[in-house]
Amino acid sequence: MEFKFTETQDKLRAEVRSFLEEELKHGSFEPSNDAWIDGYSKEFSRKVGAKGWIGTIWPKGYGGKEWSFVDRLIITEELLRFGAPVAYHWMSDRQCGPCVIAYGSDEQRKDILPRIIKGEVSFALGMSEPDSGSDLASLQTRAVETEDAFIINGQKIWTSGAHEADYIYLVARTDPDVPKHKGISEFIVDLKLPGITVKPIVDMMNSHHFNEVYFDSVRVPKSALVGERNRGWYQIAVQLDYERSGLERIMSPYPMFHMMLDLARQEPVLYNNPEVRHKLTDLVVKFEVGRLLIYRVAWTLSQGRVPNFESAMAKIYGTAFEQHLSHMATQVLGLSGQLMEDSRWAPLRGLASRSYLFCAGATLRGGTSEILRNIVALRGLGLPSQ
Amino acid sequence: MDLSLSEDQEMLRKMARDFLANECPKTLVREMEEDEKGYSPELWAKMAEQGWTGLPFPEKYGGVGYSFLDLAVLLEEMGRACLPGPYFSTVVLAGGAIMEAGSEEQKQKLLGEISEGKLIATLALTEPSASYKANDIQVTAAAEGGGHVINGTKLFVPDANVADVMVVVARTGGQGAEGLTLFLVDPKASGVSITQLKTIASDKLCEVTFDKVKVGQDAVLGEVGKGWPMVETVLQKAAVAKCAEMVGGAQQVLEMTVNYSKERVQFGRPIGSFQAIQHHCANMAIDVDGSRFISYQAAWMLSEGMPSTKEVAMAKSWTSDAYRRLTALGHQVHGGIGFTKDHDMQLYYRRAKAAEVTFGDGDFHRDVVASEIGLPDPA
Ligand SMILES: Cc1cc2nc3c(=O)[nH]c(=O)nc-3n(C[C@H](O)[C@H](O)[C@H](O)COP(=O)(O)OP(=O)(O)OC[C@H]3O[C@@H](n4cnc5c(N)ncnc54)[C@H](O)[C@@H]3O)c2cc1C
């Protein structure tokens, strides 16, 4: 065992940090919670790309560096720690790129991967539908193959960032006459195609980050199909593991956490209060546990093994932590914990109350904690299914 | 022992529920969140007609003469409906303070006007320190020419933006609980400025600053320097009144959630048939019933005039946490749809956080319980 990083990795972390400190100094961004979801900056993503920090784990043949999953985690940890606006390239780097590498055609790889690596292309994830959330395999959006195209009809919902993205990574039904898991395919669809309508949904924070996406006889070229027709369900499984196993599942409110600890170090009313001390230190301990559960996933991957329940475990733990943190932060701030961003008196720039609202979705998006616990129990612990 | 409501209380509850279902739909709740005033004057007038604004005040002051327990029954329905507006500030806070501290004349005039629905009032207690402790009251009132001059800042003052009168807790001398005095202040008086804060529950909490605000002799509520014990009594009642609101909200969230889990189908069956969801719902039900009994126990004791410091603190510490926990579970069961502004779930989730921190959160009241069970203060 060795709970430390290599010298090269330490150097990498230091480099990412000094880049971010520099950017902060130039005011290129303000640290924000959840910036991997709603911090869209094409310009910033280009800078991260120029640094060579996107697609680092990919094969060299596709422009990657063949770094380890742990290396990638170090980069993302620093980006999240600083609350940098990385939403524009996040999904592409995390899961869409790897899917194209695993299942895409050569044409797709040549087209998409170099652009992802430069931070120049953004994906939204088109999975959930009004009647198909946890039961994703029951999805109804149809893709009908014609001689030279697929014609897509249907509706996606809760699509984060569809109004900012260039493409939607779409799962649709290509064969309605076989068991539900066996008739699904994946597509990369240009969001500018005629027939696509992106309609904003106002979320419970009164902001617009996710959408409904309607497909009305949208004609996509055959080359948009990723991998094999009707094998989509099996392809997605890998994608979901990537989706669930990152540090964004515990660090979404990290900038607020960091500010809160700083505030507590300075404010006698806080540091002199034994309850506050216990709450904060308990959070620090819990965070460290979660961080290790997530590093375990990356480490497992870097050993060439598939973490088939570990990422579910990490996400359950991490998102529960995020909710606990947000609750504790608002509570430690007492009456002031209810002040929102624009209030003159709001401590921590109002990030605590914001985080309290946003965290309600943490245990839902990317697979609910109930579904993930089923995975841990069945796949991880070998418990019998009902 | 009798854990049920009396016939009259059942009637009050039913009337209130029907009335609010008609008069306070969620469209109004949502509209009022964005509204400058934050309440509907027409609805206020109708509530006064029902006798609600005078509910807990004695008949000789123009009130209805109901008990605090009866008031809790009404507040529960208000919490269920997310009733927006200054009812709590006017009746529970300011009305409570006037009842405790006011002279006969003040009670006659002010409680009479409140009961008629003609006067909106509030209590200006907390300050930027965000504390409910007497020690932390720093707004001053200096004696001058027979009256007083008030200076300083109050924060989190509910509904000051629409109040006709504020009960202001200010320091006339001394330290800690000594030397605090209650004043009746006109929010439109020169030197008073009011700014609305932006809050998680979109309620109308305000910053109120006093810049050399002159008030006359008749502005004193009760006796100079003797205000704090009155404030403590009002705070006790307010904490339990808030619990009653929370119980109403919690009951509604439970019902919404159970209904939704019967309707929503995934994997070819209602999600309520999954044990994970059943357990969430069962946990929510335990939290609702626990909150209900611990809160009503305190309300009953206050109503009976019994010493109830410990029971009040137990009620608020439990219910604050239980309501918040329960709304989080409600969201979990509702999935994506509950994360939208259009869904009612968030109305309760946001209010639960506000209610939790108001009038002392769980920690604050657990400290009270600690002294009540004889734990000496930490060195
Ligand atoms: C903030 C946010 C962002 C999102 N972004 C995206 C996005 O970009 N792209 C996208 O495609 N989707 C997105 N989603 C959707 C998300 O993936 C779904 O909300 C999630 O999969 C749950 O589906 P649902 O909302 O339909 O809830 P349901 O599936 O209806 O679940 C309701 C409840 O039932 C439980 N449940 C369901 N089945 C079972 C079972 N078998 N056993 C036990 N419990 C069960 C669930 O755990 C949940 O508690 C987002 C959601 C949120 C909240």
CATH of the domain at A309: 1.20.140.10
Residues in the ligand 1 pocket, defined by CB under 6 Å: A 125-128, 133-134, 158-160, 210, 361, 364-365, 367-368, 370-371, 374; B 264, 266-267, 271, 274, 276-277, 332-333, 335-336, 339
The mean pLDDT of A139-157, rounded to a whole number, is 98
Give B199→chain A minimum CA distance, Å: 5
Is it the case that residue A238 has pLDDT exceeding 80? no
Instruction: Give yes or no: residues A17 and A115 share one domain.
Output: yes
Q: So what's the pLDDT on residue B279?
A: 98
Last residue of a domain, one of A184, A202, A230: A230
Q: What is the domain count for chain A?
A: 3
Instruction: Report the Cα A108 to chain-centroid distance in Å.
Output: 22
The CATH number that applies at residue A108 is 1.10.540.10
In a domain, A238, yes or no: no
| Identity of the residue in A339, A365, A370 whose CB atom sits nearest the CB atom of B198 | A339
Q: So what's the pLDDT on residue A114?
A: 97
* Residue positions counted in chain B: 379
User: Which are the contacts of B218, defined by CB distance < 8 A and separation ≥ 6?
Assistant: B184
Contacts 24+ apart (CB under 8 A), A258-265: A258/A81, A259/A348, A259/A349, A259/A351, A260/A329, A260/A332, A260/A348, A260/A352, A263/A347, A263/A348, A264/A332
Instruction: Give yes or no: residues A57 and A108 share one domain.
Output: yes
In the structure encoding, which two tokens stand for residue A360, read together?
């309600």
- The count of C-alpha atoms lying within 13 angstroms of the C-alpha of B193, restricted to the half-sphere facing its C-beta, is 6
A228 among known catalytic residues: no
Instruction: Give yes or no: residues A78 and A138 share one domain.
Output: no
Q: For residues A174 and A194, is the Cβ–Cβ distance under 8 A?
A: no
In the structure encoding, which two tokens stand for residue A123, read together?
């994906």
* Residue positions counted in chain A: 386
Q: So what's the pLDDT on residue B152?
A: 98
Last residue of a domain, one of A102, A121, A140: A121
SS3 B321: helix
Across all residues in chain A, what is the average pLDDT?
96
In the structure encoding, which two tokens stand for residue B307, read together?
């010493």
Instruction: Give yes or no: residues A250 and A369 share one domain.
Output: yes
In a domain, A2, yes or no: no
Q: Determine the structural domain holding residue A17 and report its residue range.
A: 7-121
The mean pLDDT of A305-318, rounded to a whole number, is 92
Q: So what's the pLDDT on residue A49?
A: 98
| Distance of alpha carbon A157 from alpha carbon A161, whole angstroms | 11
* Cβ atoms within 10 Å, residue A237: 11
Residue with tokens 């946001």: B350
In a domain, A292, yes or no: yes
Distances (CA, A) of A311 to A57, A244, A300: 18, 6, 10
Q: So what's the pLDDT on residue A244?
A: 84
A272 close to B (CB below 8 A): no
In a domain, A276, yes or no: yes
* Cβ atoms within 10 Å, residue A62: 19
Q: So what's the pLDDT on residue B91?
A: 98
Q: How far is the CA of B337 from the centre of ligand 1 (A)?
A: 9
Rounded to a whole number, what is the distance in angstroms from the first to the last CA of chain B?
41
Instruction: Give yes or no: residues A99 and A221 share one domain.
Output: no
User: Which are the contacts of A297, defined by CB distance < 8 A and separation ≥ 6?
Assistant: A69, A245, A307, A310, A311, A314
Which phi and psi (to 5°) does residue B304 adopt?
-85, 0
In the structure encoding, which two tokens stand for residue A62, read together?
């596709």
Q: For residues B361 and B320, is the Cβ–Cβ distance under 8 A?
A: yes
Instruction: Give yes or no: residues A284 and A209 share one domain.
Output: no
Residue type, A99: C
Q: For residues A71 and A58, is the Cβ–Cβ distance under 8 A?
A: no
Residue type, B195: T
| Distance of alpha carbon A83 from alpha carbon A250, whole angstroms | 13
Band (A118; pLDDT cuts 50, 70, 90): very high
Q: For residues B211 and B193, is the Cβ–Cβ distance under 8 A?
A: yes
Instruction: Give yes or no: residues A257 and A356 share one domain.
Output: yes
Residue type, A304: G
Is it the case that residue A241 has pLDDT exceeding 90? no
Share above pLDDT 70 across residues of chain A, in percent, rounded to a whole number:
100
Instruction: Give yes or no: residues A217 and A265 share one domain.
Output: no
Q: How far is the CA of B204 from the centre of ligand 1 (A)?
A: 34
Instruction: Give yes or no: residues A281 and A343 share one domain.
Output: yes
Q: For residues B175 and B236, is the Cβ–Cβ distance under 8 A?
A: no
Residues A168-190: pLDDT tens digits?
999 999 999 999 999 999 999 99
Instruction: Give yes or no: residues A191 and A99 share one domain.
Output: no
Instruction: Give yes or no: residues A88 and A131 share one domain.
Output: no
Q: How far is the CA of A132 from the centre of ligand 1 (A)?
A: 8
Is it the case that residue A250 has pLDDT exceeding 90? yes
Band (A314; pLDDT cuts 50, 70, 90): very high
Instruction: Give yes or no: residues A174 and A213 share one domain.
Output: yes
In the structure encoding, which two tokens stand for residue A156, read together?
């996606």
| Identity of the residue in B128, B197, B336 whose CB atom sits nearest the CB atom of A364 | B336
Mean pLDDT per 10-residue interval, chain B, length 379 residues: 96 98 98 97 98 98 98 98 98 98 98 98 97 96 96 98 98 94 98 97 97 97 96 98 98 98 98 98 98 98 97 98 98 98 98 98 95 91
Q: How many CB pairs under 8 A join A and B?
A: 123
Instruction: Report the Cα A215 to chain-centroid distance in Å.
Output: 24
CATH top-level class of B7-119? mainly alpha
CATH: 3.30.56.10, 3.40.50.720, 3.90.1150.10, 2.40.110.10. Which one for B123-226?
A: 2.40.110.10
Look at residues A194, A355, A176, A147 and name the one whose alpha carbon lies nearest to residue A260: A355
Q: For residues A140 and A183, is the Cβ–Cβ distance under 8 A?
A: no
In a domain, A328, yes or no: yes
Band (A122; pLDDT cuts 50, 70, 90): very high
User: Which are the contacts of A348, defined by CB distance < 8 A and separation ≥ 6?
Assistant: A256, A259, A260, A263, A329, A333
Look at residues A118, A117, A120, A99 and name the one whose alpha carbon lies nearest to residue A108: A99
Look at residues B236, B241, B253 and name the one whose alpha carbon lies nearest to residue B352: B253
SS3 A151: strand
Q: So what's the pLDDT on residue A307?
A: 86
Domain residue extents for chain B: 7-119, 123-226, 229-372
Residue with tokens 């600083």: A82
SS3 B67: coil
Residues A21-52: pLDDT tens digits?
999 999 999 999 999 999 999 999 999 999 99
Q: Which fold does the domain B229-372 belong to in CATH?
A: Butyryl-CoA Dehydrogenase, subunit A; domain 3 (1.20.140)
